[in-house]
Amino acid sequence: MSTATSASARAPKQDRSRATRQRLLEAAVDCLAEVGWSGSTVAVVAERAGVSRGAAQHHFPTREDLFTAAVEHVSVQRRAELDARAAALPASGRGRHEAVVRMLVGLYTSPLFRAALQLWVAVSTDDQLRPRVLELESRIGRETHRTAVTLLGADESRPGVRETVQATLDMARGLGLADVLSDDSERRERIVRQWARILDAQL
């Protein structure tokens, strides 16, 4: 009886802890996207999330822990969303490449990309952050590449196909960067359509 009681007491506590962690991660991404790395501290995020500073530091001992975990958390969520939406796409044909390119480009025109961009740029002047972001970006990069290969139905054993998929993601990243300065959505949509036509011919 006492075992059952303590287990049921533990479960809500774990749920609360998980919810606190999640609130911190989401507040961290918003904070990074809005005020940049130099203004993003654990204290600022804790306040934004409505969590005590002590609780925030219990979950994330350092600033680097919090912000790299935040970018990773949201990346995983966004790729899961993308997989879910991909299930609704046409199975093949011209419309498919265009829809997939639009979805991939969408990964790079979001608050998440703006947050990740702040981390990328901060690494050039922050030695503690650099190894963490490098490791994170290389993992996210590999997974995004795999997602793109699957969604585009690309056969990477054919010469040039791997590089064409990579170029698609580099182009998407460049479009994301262009959108940081001003709303680039009209120009971007024309490029997405043309890129899809190129993939129709290449893949």
Q: Give min distance, CB of 77 to a copy of itself, in A.
A: 22
Question: Residue 113's closest CA among 55, 179, 52?
Answer: 179
Give the whole-angstrom CA distance, residue 149 versus residue 160: 13
Q: By the 8 A CB rule, do 115 and 137 touch?
A: no
* Dihedral sign (CA 129, 131, 133, 134): positive
Residue 121 contacts a copy of itself per CB under 8 A: yes
Please name the residue that has the structure tokens 């262009």. Answer: 178
The widest CA-to-CA distance across the chain, in whole angstroms, is 67
Q: How many CB atoms lie within 10 A of CB 136?
A: 18
d(CA 57, CA 63): 9
Quick note: the x/- pattern for a copy of itself over 135-174, rule CB under 8 A, is: --x----------------------x--xx-xx-xxxxxx
Of residues 26 and 137, the one with the C-beta less far from a copy of itself: 137
| Residue 125 makes contact with a copy of itself by CB under 8 A | yes
Q: Write down the least CB distance from residue 53 to a copy of itself, Å.
A: 23
The span of 4-12, 43-51, 71-79, 116-124 binding a copy of itself (CB under 8 A) equals: 116-124
Please identify, using beta-carbon distances, which residue of 51 and 136 lies nearer to a copy of itself.
Answer: 136
Q: Residue 107 in contact with residue 113, Cβ under 8 Å?
A: yes
Which residue among 122, 140, 151, 152 contacts a copy of itself (CB under 8 A)?
A: 122
Query: Considering beta carbons, is residue 55 or 171 the nearer one to a copy of itself?
Result: 171
Q: Any alpha helices (H) in the chain, and if so which ranges?
A: 2-35, 42-49, 53-59, 63-86, 94-107, 111-123, 129-152, 161-181, 185-202
- Min dist CB 70 to a copy of itself, Å, is 17
Candidates 1-9, 17-25, 91-99, 110-118; binding stretch for a copy of itself (CB under 8 A):
110-118
Q: What is the b/e burial string over 15-36, where b = at least 16 CB atoms within 10 angstroms of the residue's CB?
A: eeeeebbebbbbbbbbbbbeeb
State which of residues 24, 33, 70, 154 lies at the interface with a copy of itself (CB under 8 A): 33
Assess 182 for contact with a copy of itself (CB under 8 A). Answer: yes
Give the interface with a copy of itself as residue ranges (CB under 8 A): 33-36, 38-39, 114, 117-118, 120-125, 133-134, 137, 160, 163-164, 166-167, 169-178, 180-182, 187, 190-191, 193-195, 197-198, 201-202
